[in-house]
Amino acid sequence: MKKIVVGIDLGTTHSLVAYRREDGHVEVIPDRDGRVLLPSVVALSKDGVRVGWSARERINDPETTVIYAAKRLMGRSFEETENDRSHVSYPVVDWNGSPAIPDPSRNRALTPPEVGALILKELRTRAEEALGQSVSDAVVTVPAYFNDGQRQATKDAGTLAGLNVLRIINEPTAAALAYGLGSGKDGLFAVFDLGGGTFDFSLLDIRKGIFEVRATNGDTHLGGEDFDRAITEEWFRISPKLASLAKRPEVRDLLRKEAERAKIALSSKTKVEVALPAAGFRSTLTRDRLNELVAPFVERTLACVRNALSDSGSTTGDVDGVILVGGSTRFPRFKEAVGTFFGKPLFDTVDPDLVVAEGAAVQADILSGRRKDLLLLDVTPLSLGIETIGGVTSTLIPRNTTVPAQAKELFTTYVDGQTNVDIHVLQGEREMAKDNRSLARFTLAGIPPLPAGTPRIEVTFQIDANGILEVTAREQTTGKTSNVVIHPSYGLGKEDVRDLLKEAFAHVQEDFATRLLADARTEAQTVLNATLRALGRVKEDILPETDRTAILHQVDLMKAAMEGTDGRKVRDETQALDKLTQPLAERLMNQSISNALAGMALPKEDDTNA
Ligand code: ADP
Ligand code: MG
């Protein structure tokens, strides 16, 4: 039997698993009860761990810890998750700098990748039962703005679930694949993803099988749940009694469910009756009224869209189509608003709850080697490099390089006898290291003590198909190696990528000048060191006093220039010193040759042939 690779949408609210059948049809795999969605919920209690629907039912059980929306915590530091922690009702503790959820009955804490693993395992089991074969290979989707750390954490979740994650792909890319984009159909596509609690907008440039995310924007706290809340608040206005009853969590939860039911019904009806006899409440909600209630949310999504367009320097006219993703885009008001805003065809024929999983399955199928017609490549969103002398950035992998990719470069020491080098890995477009994002630092120790500039240190950057970076430094004579896999690179949000690019563009000129100065100072320092060393070694008789004075005078001029900020001046003074010391270098050479000759006899002719 051919090995099947599955596609998984690991969502904030729901997760799904899909695969591509032999006949080419993509199928989202249901559970035994025929449900395709799996709530991304894990419940911890004395009687065990539950995942999915049964976990969600426990939401009001005081004896159970119900973990939901753990995706928001994935691959981030405890500090960074402060805002998200305040939005959840379960406790989150600081576990060596990472967030973790205590499991009191088992005396341990679960990290977000472990929570993700439980969900993935459930999906894996579901797939194995449905397919009647073991499933180990998968493609998993993540939001386009996920940084290296968040992607790595998602991959870790897969590994913990016994899955071999062949690739992590962006959710908007998956949605586009589900619509068959990328094989022949090129263009700029907007992906509008409004889920339960998050809104993600991406502009996807598809050209010759390369999917490039041109811009992302969104709101990590905007989604269907806000509409549900707006509905319950409306009810509280109508009935103060209901409002006071809702102080009890189980009532609040019931109302929330009722509100969601009403909202969903209003996608196909124009009016719905709501009756809560126990609370003596009865009311009618119309679609028109719901449209009014969601108007501020519609406006917020469109504001994000406008920002993404302006960041990427495009207009609605450049967009070839809009893909609708996420359960909340079923609500007619959103379709209308998006359709009117873009005036472009909407891709809405694939179920918006399933479209990401289906696209992941398409990619999975490609990776299983069954399809040769479509080649999918991803690119690095920002440049990657290291800090070199003078605090400048040396780029190894430029932005927009298709991954997987590898780059090597040789570096050396800067101080005589230096036995350690610090490798500082950077991400970003700025010339100076301090202006870029610091991804990691590590040390290569045990370099043989040699004069500056002699050791050869090879630095290799290897970035895999998931954008996970491994940096290795190797000293070539000893073979000493040190490396780092870049992993929790905390704090790079979707806005950050955009801001970093914008900043780089805004600072091009001044960065150029700063870089010129830094490079010129480095060069000047090297020439200065060499000059002082030579002056110390050269014998009086071969360097006239006037020459020595002239050199020292130029040294002072160069030092003064180095104190200043004009890179060109530093370079000119350095060149002048270089020129002045040229004869000195020649004399030194002669001096050492005659020294050498004086101390040794020339070999006899027959010896040289021996
Ligand atoms: P996520 O990607 O965050 O896991 P989903 O894409 O599964 O989220 O979307 C879930 C949201 O979609 C929920 O808030 C749900 O109420 C909402 N939803 C589902 N169907 C409809 C509908 N017909 N009309 C409006 N909202 C809907
Ligand atoms: Mg989603």
Alpha-carbon dihedral sign for residues 547, 548, 550, 555: positive
- DSSP single-letter state for residue 12: S
Distance CA(234)–CA(225), nearest Å, equals 14
Comparing C-alpha atoms, which of 19, 51, 14, 34 is closest to residue 132? 19
Instruction: Say which residue, 296 or 533, is predicted with more confidence.
Output: 296
Q: Which ligand is nearest to the CA of 15?
A: 1
Distances (CA, A) of 320 to 192, 507, 553: 13, 32, 66
Residue 182 three-state SS: coil
Which atom of ligand 1 is closest in space to residue 224's alpha carbon? 14
pLDDT in tens, 512-522: 888 889 889 98
Do 341 and 365 reside in the same domain of the chain?
no
**Ligand 1: which of 13, 192, 202, 358 to mutate, most ligand atoms within 8 Å of CB?**
13
Which residues does 310 contact at the CB level (< 8 Å), separation at least 6? none
Query: Whose C-alpha lies nearest to ligand 1, atom 10?
Result: 196
CATH (domain of 79): 3.30.420.40
Comparing C-alpha atoms, which of 145, 136, 142, 143 is closest to residue 164? 136
CA of 46 from ligand 2 middle (Å) equals: 31
Which atom of ligand 1 is closest in space to residue 260's alpha carbon? 16
Do 5 and 149 reside in the same domain of the chain?
yes
pLDDT in tens, 163-185: 999 999 999 999 999 998 987 77
- Measured between its terminal Cα atoms, the distance across the chain in Å is 68
Burial class (CB in 10 A: 0-12, 13-18, 19+), 234: middle
Among candidate residues 122, 193, 511, 573, the one labeled active-site is 193
On the question of a cis peptide bond just before residue 404, with omega within 30 degrees of 0, the verdict is: yes
Do 292 and 401 reside in the same domain of the chain?
no
Distance CA(219)–CA(199), nearest Å, equals 5
For 65-91, the DSSP string reads EEEE-GGGGTT--TGGGHHHHTT-SS-
**Ligand 1: which of 325, 328, 348 to mutate, most ligand atoms within 8 Å of CB?**
328
Q: What's the pLDDT score for residue 495?
A: 62
CA of 60 from ligand 2 middle (Å) equals: 25
Boundaries of domain holding 27: 1-179+352-376
Residue 148 lies in a domain: yes
Burial class (CB in 10 A: 0-12, 13-18, 19+), 593: exposed
Name 137's bridge partners. Answer: 5, 164
Say yes or no to pLDDT of 251 above 70: yes
What value does the mean pLDDT take over residues 124-134? 96
Say yes or no to pLDDT of 599 above 70: no
Do 198 and 172 reside in the same domain of the chain?
no
Which residues does 75 contact at the CB level (< 8 Å), separation at least 6? 112, 113, 146, 147, 149, 150, 151, 152, 153, 154, 488, 490
For 343-392, the DSSP string reads -S-EE-SS-TTTHHHHHHHHHHHHHTTS--S---BEE-SS-EEEEETTTE
What value does the mean pLDDT take over residues 45-63? 93
Q: How big is the CA angle at 11 (ends 179 and 132), to the nearest 5 degrees? A: 75
Say yes or no to pLDDT of 277 above 70: yes
Average pLDDT, the chain: 88
Q: How many CB atoms lie within 10 A of CB 296?
A: 10
Model confidence at 149, pLDDT cuts 50, 70, 90, reads: confident
Q: What's the pLDDT score for residue 49?
A: 95
Do 404 and 301 reside in the same domain of the chain?
no
Residue 609 lies in a domain: no
Residue 514 main-chain phi, psi, to 5 deg: -65, -40
CA of 282 from ligand 1 middle (Å) equals: 25
Q: What's the pLDDT score for residue 193?
A: 97
Q: What's the pLDDT score for residue 172?
A: 94
Least confident of 44-48, 72-76, 150-154, 398-402: 398-402
CA of 326 from ligand 2 middle (Å) equals: 5
Catalytic-residue membership of 225: no
Task: Tell me what percent of the residues of the chain surpass a pLDDT of 90.
Answer: 57
CA of 514 from ligand 1 middle (Å) equals: 50
CATH (domain of 460): 2.60.34.10
Q: What's the pLDDT score for residue 177?
A: 93
Catalytic-residue membership of 193: yes
Query: Whose C-alpha lies nearest to ligand 1, atom 12?
Result: 327
Q: What's the pLDDT score for residue 130?
A: 95
Q: What's the pLDDT score for residue 597?
A: 61
Identity of the amino acid at 103: D
CA of 355 from ligand 2 middle (Å) equals: 9
Do 140 and 188 reside in the same domain of the chain?
no
Residue 127 lies in a domain: yes
Q: What's the pLDDT score for residue 330?
A: 95
Most confidently modeled of 344-353, 363-372, 376-385?
A: 344-353
Among candidate residues 71, 263, 335, 494, the one labeled active-site is 71
Q: What's the pLDDT score for residue 379?
A: 63
CATH (domain of 535): 1.20.1270.10
Do 90 and 153 reside in the same domain of the chain?
yes
Name 377's bridge partners. Answer: 210
Model confidence at 248, pLDDT cuts 50, 70, 90, reads: confident
| CB 555, CB 570: distance < 8 Å | no
pLDDT in tens, 23-52: 889 999 999 999 999 999 999 999 999 999
Residue 359, CB half-sphere, CA atoms under 13 Å: how many? 30
Q: Which ligand is nearest to the CA of 328?
A: 1
Instruction: Say which residue, 564 or 403, is predicted with more confidence.
Output: 564
Which residues does 134 contact at the CB level (< 8 Å), separation at least 6? 128
Q: What's the pLDDT score for residue 497?
A: 62
Q: Which ligand is nearest to the CA of 196?
A: 1
Distance CA(367)–CA(507), nearest Å, equals 41
Residue 133 lies in a domain: yes
Do 144 and 218 reside in the same domain of the chain?
no
Comparing C-alpha atoms, which of 534, 518, 527 is closest to residue 574? 527
Q: What's the pLDDT score for residue 110?
A: 95
Do 434 and 359 reside in the same domain of the chain?
no
Beta pairing, strands 5-10 & 137-142:
parallel
Do 172 and 189 reside in the same domain of the chain?
no
Block residue for tokens 């490396």: 483
What value does the mean pLDDT take over residues 273-302? 94
Query: Whose C-alpha lies nearest to ligand 1, atom 20?
Result: 327
Burial class (CB in 10 A: 0-12, 13-18, 19+), 142: buried
Do 127 and 201 reside in the same domain of the chain?
no
Comparing C-alpha atoms, which of 189, 144, 161 is closest to residue 379? 144
Say yes or no to pLDDT of 503 above 80: no
Among candidate residues 9, 80, 122, 156, the one labeled active-site is 9
Residue 604 lies in a domain: no
pLDDT in tens, 203-240: 999 887 778 888 888 998 999 999 999 999 999 999 99
Comparing C-alpha atoms, which of 99, 224, 113 is closest to residue 159? 113
How many structural domains does the chain have? Answer: 4
Q: To 10 degrees, what angle do helices 494-506 and 508-537 make?
A: 70
Q: What's the pLDDT score for residue 291?
A: 97
Model confidence at 138, pLDDT cuts 50, 70, 90, reads: very high
Q: Which ligand is nearest to the CA of 330?
A: 1
Which atom of ligand 1 is closest in space to residue 15's alpha carbon? 4
CA of 210 from ligand 2 middle (Å) equals: 22
Do 146 and 123 reside in the same domain of the chain?
yes
Comparing C-alpha atoms, which of 580, 169, 216, 83 is closest to residue 377? 169
Protein residues with CB under 6 Å of any ligand 1 atom: 11-14, 195-198, 223-225, 260, 263-264, 267, 326-328, 330-331, 353
